[in-house]
Amino acid sequence: MLKKVIAGLMLLTLVGCSNTKSRENYYKNYKKIESIKKSNYNERIYSKTLKGDRVDLYGKYKADNFPIARPIPYLLYVNDMENPKIPFRAYTESEFLNFYKNLRAKGHGDNSNYWRWNFKLSKHQLNNVLNKNLANLARRRGREVLTLSRGEWINKKVSLNPVGTLQELKVLQRGKSGLIIKLMIKGSRGTYLVVKEGNVRNVLGLSKRSVGSTVNIYGSRNGDGKYSSKPISRNPYLLPSAFFAFEKLSSSGYTFYGGGFGHGTGIPQWTAMDLTRNKNFNYQQVLKRYYPNTQLRNIKSVRGISEDIRVGIMDTGFKSLEHSKITLYSAGKIKLRSRGGNLNISPRTYIDFRSKNGYTNVIIGGKVRLRTKHYITISSTRMISVPSIRRHIRRYRFPTYRGTFEIRPSRARNYLRLINEVPIEEYLLQVVPSEMPKSFGLEALKVQAVAARTYAAKDHQRNRYKKSGFHILDSTQSQVYNNLDENEVATKAVKSTKGIILTNDNKPIDAKYYSTSSGFNSSAHNVW
* pLDDT tens sequence for the chain (528 residues): 433 333 333 333 333 333 333 333 333 333 333 233 333 333 334 434 677 899 999 999 999 999 999 999 999 999 999 999 999 999 999 999 999 999 999 999 999 999 999 999 999 999 999 999 999 999 999 999 999 999 999 999 999 999 999 999 999 999 999 999 999 999 999 999 999 999 999 999 999 999 999 999 999 999 999 999 999 999 999 999 999 999 998 778 999 999 999 999 999 999 999 999 999 999 999 999 999 999 999 999 998 899 999 999 999 999 999 999 999 999 999 999 999 999 999 999 999 999 999 999 999 999 999 999 999 999 999 999 999 999 999 888 899 999 999 999 998 999 999 999 999 999 999 999 999 999 999 999 999 999 999 999 999 999 999 999 999 999 999 999 999 999 999 999 999 999 999 999 999 999 999 999 999 999 999 999
C-beta separation of 203 from 130 below 8 A: yes
Judge if 147 and 179 occupy the same domain: yes
Helix, strand, or coil (residue 450): helix
The model's pTM: 0.87
Judge if 122 and 209 occupy the same domain: yes
Strand partners, 175: 54
- What's the confidence (pLDDT) of residue 38? 36
Judge if 325 and 357 occupy the same domain: yes
**d(C-alpha 158, C-alpha 217), whole Å:** 30
Listed residue (346, 289, 337, 314) closest to 502, CA to CA: 289
Strand partners, 359: 356
**d(C-alpha 106, C-alpha 26), whole Å:** 12
- Calculate what percentage of the chain has a pLDDT beyond 90: 87
Question: What angle, 0 to 180 degrees and rounded to 10, lies between the N-to-C axes of helices 283-290 and 269-278?
Answer: 140
Judge if 254 and 302 occupy the same domain: no
Judge if 372 and 231 occupy the same domain: no
Judge if 259 and 282 occupy the same domain: no
- What's the confidence (pLDDT) of residue 341? 95
Helix, strand, or coil (residue 193): strand
CB neighbour list of residue 357: distance below 8 Å, 6 or more residues apart: 414
Listed residue (235, 257, 137) closest to 518, CA to CA: 257
Judge if 289 and 238 occupy the same domain: no
Instruction: State which residues form the domain around 15.
Output: 1-265+519-528
C-beta separation of 367 from 345 below 8 A: no
Judge if 246 and 372 occupy the same domain: no
b/e map of 396-416 (b: 16 or more CB within 10 Å)? eebbbbbbbbbbbbbeeeebb
Judge if 176 and 301 occupy the same domain: no
- What's the confidence (pLDDT) of residue 32? 36
Task: Quote the Cα angle for 496-499-503, to 5°.
Answer: 120
**Domain count for the chain:** 2
**d(C-alpha 241, C-alpha 216), whole Å:** 15
DSSP character string of 109-154: TTTSTTSEEEEEE-HHHHHHHHHHHHHHHHHHSGGGEEEEETTEEE
Judge if 309 and 241 occupy the same domain: no
- What's the confidence (pLDDT) of residue 394? 87
Listed residue (21, 186, 220) closest to 103, CA to CA: 220
- What's the confidence (pLDDT) of residue 16? 34
C-beta separation of 338 from 370 below 8 A: yes
C-alpha 259 chain-centroid distance: 14
Judge if 131 and 279 occupy the same domain: no
Judge if 331 and 218 occupy the same domain: no
